[in-house]
Amino acid sequence: MKSFFFSMILFALATFVAKADSDDPVLMRINGEPVYRSEFEYSYNKNGNLAGAVEQKSVEEYADMFVNYKLKVLAARAAHLDTLESFQKEYAHYRDLQLLPSLVDSAYIDSVAYSLYERTAQQLKGQDMLRVAHIMLTVKQGATDEERESVRLRCDSIYKAIMNGADFMEMAKRFSQDKATARSGGILPWLGPGMAIREIEQAAYAMQPGQVSEPISSALGFHLIKMLERKQLAPYDSLRKSILESLYRQGIAEASAEHRISKLLARYGNRLTREALLDSVYVRLLARQPDLKYLIQEYHDGLLLYEISQRTVWDKAKNDGEGLERFFKANKKNYQWDGPRFRGYIVHSKDPKLVKKAAKILKKEDNWRTAIHREFNRDSVMVTVQGPFLAKQGENPYIDARAFGGTEPSPREGFPYFELVGKKLKRPETYADVKSQVENDYRKVLEDQWVAELRKQYSVEINSAVLQTVNRH
Q: How high is the pLDDT of residue 288?
A: 81
Task: Tell me the average pLDDT across 83-97.
Answer: 92
Q: How high is the pLDDT of residue 422?
A: 94
> pLDDT by residue (tens digit) across 395-413?
999 999 999 998 999 888 8
Q: Where are the domains of the chain?
A: 127-232, 337-426
> pLDDT by residue (tens digit) across 160-184?
999 999 999 999 999 999 998 999 9
Q: Which residue, 289, 292, 262, is CA-closest to 277? A: 262
* pLDDT for residue 53 is more than 70: no
Q: What Rg do the C-alpha atoms of the chain give, in angstroms?
A: 35
Confidence class for position 246, pLDDT limits 50, 70, 90: confident
Q: How high is the pLDDT of residue 55?
A: 55
Q: 115 by DSSP, 3-state: which?
A: helix
CA 175 to chain centre: 32
* pLDDT for residue 56 is more than 80: no
* pLDDT for residue 286 is more than 90: no
Q: How high is the pLDDT of residue 2?
A: 40
Q: How high is the pLDDT of residue 411?
A: 85
DSSP of 425-471, one letter per residue?
ESS--SGGGGHHHHHHHHHHHHHHHHHHHHHHHS-EEE-HHHHTTTT
Average pLDDT, the chain: 89
CA-CA distance, 53 to 292, in Å (whole number)?
24
CA-CA distance, 203 to 227, in Å (whole number)?
10
CA-CA distance, 261 to 263, in Å (whole number)?
5
Is 411 or 204 the better-scoring residue by pLDDT? 204
Task: Tell me the average pLDDT across 18-44.
Answer: 85
Q: Assign residue 414 a region: left if phi > 0, alpha if psi is -120 to 50, beta otherwise?
A: left
User: How many helices and strands, by DSSP H and E, does the chain display?
Assistant: 20, 9
Q: Give the residues across from 383 on adjacent strands.
A: 349
Is 223 or 10 the better-scoring residue by pLDDT? 223
Task: Tell me the average pLDDT across 312-327.
Answer: 92
Confidence class for position 192, pLDDT limits 50, 70, 90: confident
Is 291 or 185 the better-scoring residue by pLDDT? 185
Task: Tell me the average pLDDT across 219-233.
Answer: 94
> pTM for the full model?
0.65
Confidence class for position 325, pLDDT limits 50, 70, 90: very high
Q: How high is the pLDDT of residue 50?
A: 54
Q: How many CB atoms lie within 10 A of CB 97?
A: 13
Which alpha helices (H) appear in 167-273, and where do they start and end? 168-175, 179-182, 198-205, 236-249, 252-268
Confidence class for position 107, pLDDT limits 50, 70, 90: very high
CA-CA distance, 303 to 76, in Å (whole number)?
10
> pLDDT by residue (tens digit) across 353-365?
999 999 999 998 8
217 Cβ partners below 8 Å, 6+ apart? 152, 199
- Say which amino acid occupies 253: A
Q: How high is the pLDDT of residue 149?
A: 94
Least confident of 65-69, 91-95, 225-229: 91-95
Q: Give the residues across from 222 on adjacent strands.
A: 137, 217
| Cβ proximity of 137 and 221 under 8 Å | yes
Q: How high is the pLDDT of residue 23?
A: 85
Q: How high is the pLDDT of residue 190?
A: 86
What would be the CATH architecture of the domain defined by 127-232? Roll (3.10)
